[in-house]
Amino acid sequence: MSAPRTLVVMPNWVGDCVMAEPVVRALDESGRELVLVARPHLVPLVALFAGVVETVERGDDAATAAQLRAAALDEAFVLPNSFRSAKLARDARIARRYGYRGELRAPLLAPAVRRPRGRRPQVEDYRELLAAAGVAAPASWIPRLELPEPLLARGRERLARARVELGAGPLVGVFPGAEWGASKRWPWRRFAELTHELRRRVPAARQILLAGPKEVWLAVRVHEEGGKLHPLIGPELDLAALAAVLAHLDLLITNDSGPMHLAAALGVACVALFGPTDPRRTAPAGEGHAVLYRDLWCSPCFRRRCPLLHHGCLRGIPVAEVAAAAAARLGGGS
């Protein structure tokens, strides 16, 4: 009997895609042939997941559904909870379509699985979908990525072009962005102060500033306020190339963001700053990370902008606390 050809409809955010890696791994370990459909900018990332035989760029839904119909798929796992994602799998005429009910989409799924209650780490959100299909849960729900050597070499080359010498001391990445909204971003001036403080506490550490295309302005300001000492890397890279750079870090200091989850999946320790989101749900998975969170009475609010206008959940995290957490993980302090 041939292996089922299985479609996985991937989430639309970088961090959510990374946190879905364990369910993709479980499907691969069950002997399925995996076809992943994702937004174009996410395809270089999800193509790195184990067992993926084909990736499809998700564009216009009608055109994407037609492409999927031609792929002769036996089943689909719809990970996003949106109506459109369930409709895409239905329109692709895939017989078995596993997804959580809600958003009026139960008639589009076969079967529609009851969404679990309670709060747990997001990496485990798809446990019931696997169970509905009779697929064993992964041995570990911690996302992990292993990059091929040619891709790692690309990361080394990009660092070399930025005049970053590997092996000369710990390498620290600083990521001041977060796509979801301004309320998730620690103030950029704090990041600039942090680069100075970290140089004082761990003189041997080298720092690089990281940014995606939408966060260039933040990183440029940190770069200028930091004395233009630390190279800026990332706006021109796709997600696979960014992963190749992140893989060479010893530490990433970051807001709650996609690169945070990507670095953690690569085995890089993170100092993660949380404000309006819930670290009990989306903290970097694995060991060795530091999560800084004020846990105010209004947190987590999940608002893109602070409704109380004070942004105290992030502004209340002092530079000294972040620098101390980073130095501790670099062997430069407690």
Helix 258-265 to helix 239-246 angle (10° resolution) is 60
Q: What is the pLDDT of residue 247?
A: 98
pLDDT above 70 for 334: no
B/e letters for 181-217, b = 16+ CB within 10 Å, e = fewer, are eebbbbbbebbbbbbebbbebbeebbbbbbbbeebbe
Q: What is the pLDDT of residue 183?
A: 81
The fold adopted by the segment(s) 5-132 is Rossmann fold (3.40.50)
List pLDDT tens digits, range 270-296. Answer: 999 999 999 999 999 999 999 999 988
List pLDDT tens digits, range 7-23. Answer: 999 999 999 999 999 99
pLDDT band at 109 (very low <50, low <70, confident <90, very high): very high
Query: Domain boundaries in the chain?
Result: 5-132, 152-329
Percent with pLDDT over 70 in the chain: 99
Q: What is the pLDDT of residue 312?
A: 80
List pLDDT tens digits, range 73-99. Answer: 999 999 999 999 999 999 999 999 999
CATH superfamily, with its number, for domain 152-329:
Glycogen Phosphorylase B; (3.40.50.2000)
pLDDT above 80 for 101: yes
Least confident of 16-25, 198-207, 305-314: 305-314
Domains 5-132 and 152-329 share a fold: yes
Cis before 300 (ω within 30): yes
Q: What is the pLDDT of residue 1?
A: 60
Dihedral pair phi/psi, residue 230, rounded to 5°: -115, 125
Q: What are 302's strand-pairing partners?
A: none
3-state secondary structure of 174: strand
Round the average pLDDT of the chain to a whole number and report it: 93
